[in-house]
Amino acid sequence: MTGTITVVGSVNLDLVVRCDHLPLAGETVLGDGFAKHPGGKGANQALAARRLGAEVQLIACVGQDEEASQALSLLRADGVDLERCRAIAEAPTGVAMIAVAPDGDNQIVVASGANAHLGLDDLPARISGALIGQLETPVEVLAEAVARCDGLTCLNLAPAADLPDDVLRRADLCIVNEAEGAFYGLERLKGAGGLTALTLGARGAVLFKDGIEIARAAPPPVEAHDATGAGDTFVAALTLALLEGRSEQSALEFACAAGAVSTLKAGAQPALPERAAVEARLTR
């Protein structure tokens, strides 16, 4: 393995309801199942990277509550380093309310809770290896983490939020979906100087460098059950593949395959794939 991946991000407990269709504005939809799963973009990406073979450290905040134990359970079980995951008394563990349709599509609303209390003091003086960050925690903490990282830096710009141009310029890799790409402006992202990955759901993903498309990949065909953790799996897989020295095309194919495999089971973290399952899809 080449180095360690440090993830600075959120930890949530996902409250998931399956329903016949996703509600429109003002519409009440009856669900036919309810489950609680560990989640949060930071935690999902940390666990995904760990299951794909990386040594992973998570920097995050949780509450001093039972939800924290549930939210961290799979991370502990899989050996993610939680030494810098701080429990605080002033806010509860974050929760995400998720509606999932039969085709695996979803809607998500997040109550940040303790995630909003992640601070500069939670960061080490230097972050070695690779860094993955998202925007479910304070922007100023992410910006400082990027400044302190001396290795590969990946920013998953989700959920979409205002971000200074200098942070984008320092990132080696920015990852957005189509909605986030429209928010930031793809030309702005492509001009930042690093790689930009645009995810297209079931259509795969495209990778740009200096505004020029350098790779495009489609996921292997799967019968999707729940797409909740697919984007986070893609982020972890692409970062790890680039860290391992794969070509851009090979890395993108690996990330698309990993994202596809993550949709085969219910829940975000319970469905995150082991590396062997991803490699098997690539060889079919």
Fold of 4-11+41-92+115-282: UDP-N-acetylmuramoyl-L-alanine:D-glutamate ligase (3.40.1190)
Tell me: the pLDDT tens digits for 78-98?
999 999 999 999 999 999 898
**232 belongs to the catalytic site:** yes
Q: How much is the pLDDT for 24?
A: 93
Which of 14, 122, 226, 232 is labelled catalytic?
Answer: 232
Tell me: the pLDDT tens digits for 260-281?
999 998 878 989 999 999 999 9
Residue percentage of the chain with pLDDT more than 90: 81
CA distance 165 to 162: 9
CA distance 174 to 155: 5
- Cβ neighbours of residue 212 under 8 Å, at least 6 residues apart? none
CA distance 253 to 212: 18
Tell me: the pLDDT tens digits for 95-135?
989 898 988 788 989 899 999 999 999 999 999 999 999 99
Count Cβ atoms below 10 Å from residue 2 Cβ, excluding itself.
15
Q: How much is the pLDDT for 32?
A: 86
Tell me: the pLDDT tens digits for 164-181?
999 999 999 999 999 999
Q: What is the pTM of this model?
A: 0.92
Structure tokens at 61: 């905040």
Tell me how many degrees the CA angle 131-137-139 measures, rounded to the nearest 5.
80
Return the domain boundaries, the chain.
Answer: 4-11+41-92+115-282
Whether the pLDDT of residue 283 is over 90: the answer is: no
Buried b (16+ CB within 10 A) or exposed e, 202-233: bebbbbbeeeeeebbbebeebebbbbbbbbbb
